Amino acid sequence: MMTDPRRYLVRMLIFLVVVVAIAALLHAPLLRAFMGNPALNGVILGVLLIGIIYTFRQILRLVPERRWLTAIQKTGKLDNRQTKPVLLATVYAMLADQRQESQLSALSLRSVLDGVAARLDEGREISRYMIGLLVFLGLLGTFWGLLQTIGAVGLVVGSLDTAGTDFDAMMTQLKGGLDAPLSGMSTAFSSSLFGLAGSLILGFLDLQLGQAMGRFFNELEDWLSAFARFNDNGPAAGDGGVTPLASGMSEEAARALIHLGNSIAAGEDNRQRVLDQLGNINMTLAALNETMTDDRRLREQLAQLNAGIAQLSVDLQDDRGRANSAVVSELRALANAVNKTAGSRVTRQTKGG
């Protein structure tokens, strides 16, 4: 889980509250110091305010980048409907490339991280420049005030009437002439005060910005390390430990060879699976052949059974015909016998009458 950059905003706000509280307690001397040169001191405070706003903005820029990266880590896929990141543009290009393999080489990972680091450092350059600008404005006011002081002291010394005998008049003239040198010293010290204090405040805020960006970059590097493939550093066979990239082969060629090796390994796995499937098919065909042989034997036995039934039916019909003929013959003989018996009885009755 990525660290929320807004936690550093809390530290910055607490620090600014403490600074404002100290300034409120010292408002009277700070106001007198500010009035020593309102124009230059106003510029210094304006630069400080711009630097504070810019530092807060740079930390807030990390929030959508962190949200986008967290969504990628949760879903595991790139959603084109989301807003494209700015600081993580190289990471987006890596994930959006459909031809990119699931693992990165060490050089590809380094190039992606270098792109992110360059964008993060670019965001801190302005805040660092403003810190130096505050110091420069403080020193500028210091030298400006010293020049005013030296010029005013020269005018005061040159305007003194050393030939006069009135000592009180000379001291009054000296006291009036010291107003300009004191004004120059006020400009020098007040500008130094506001410049150094502003650089101190902005330096602490830039330190928090650096910690936020450093934490963000380290967590991004830890996450991208899961995609890294460090076997490019393995020694090549017979080459004294020289890597393919170091021996003149480009990264694309090395990646193509690795992809080819993976394809060959995948083809070998597919071939083994095909052989296993062919073995299963052969076993199935053998079982089917045995089943067909059993079916053939069954059909032959059924044919023999049908032939036996047909012969039995013919034999039954012959037996029935012979039985019918014998019954008819017996009935005929019986009828003849009955007829003979009846005829002889009628003959005896006729003779007796």
Q: How far apart are CA 137 and CA 156, in angstroms?
A: 28
pLDDT class for 323, splitting at 50, 70, 90? Answer: confident
> Could you tell me which residues come within 8 angstroms of residue 234 by beta carbon, excluding any fewer than 6 positions away?
243
User: H or E stretch including 192?
Assistant: helix 179-224
User: H or E stretch including 228?
Assistant: strand 228-229
> pLDDT tens digits, residue range 169-219?
555 655 555 555 555 566 667 788 888 889 999 999 999 988 888 888 888
Position 242 pLDDT exceeds 60? no
Give the model's pLDDT for residue 237: 40
Q: How far apart are CA 198 and CA 193, in angstroms?
A: 8
Neighbour count for residue 68 (Cβ, 10 Å):
21
> pLDDT tens digits, residue range 54-104?
999 988 888 888 888 887 777 766 666 667 777 777 777 777 764 444 556
> Could you tell me which residues come within 8 angstroms of residue 251 by beta carbon, excluding any fewer than 6 positions away?
105, 107, 108, 245
Q: Are 227 and 73 a contacting pair, CB within 8 Å?
A: no
Q: How far apart are CA 266 and CA 256, in angstroms?
A: 15
